[in-house]
Amino acid sequence: MINVARGSLVDTDALVSALRDGSIGGAGLDVTDPEPLPDGHALWSLPNAIITPHCSTPPAVRPPAFADHVATNVARFVAGEPLVARIDPAAGY
């Protein structure tokens, strides 16, 4: 099972159980619920679980990408257009 979307899409307790009993062979998780995953959580110690740091953009690319994003949203705001990638707290992102 691979989850790179939202941690809440997966029942973490059920995932731990399935990994422990072999119902599924493994999990690759870029997101978890809860996030951040607490120290000592079972997923950290399961040999068939891989947890990645949830930061897929290489550091050298981040500033230009963020600058482009901000420039796009400023132009859209000035033009009275909807902003891109708006935060939606009710949806969890």
Query: Could you say which of 20, 35, 69, 76 is catalytic?
Result: 35
| 81 a catalytic residue | no
Q: Are 41 and 47 in contact (CB under 8 A)?
A: no
| 6 a catalytic residue | yes
| 41 a catalytic residue | no
Q: Which residues are identified as catalytic?
A: 6, 35, 54
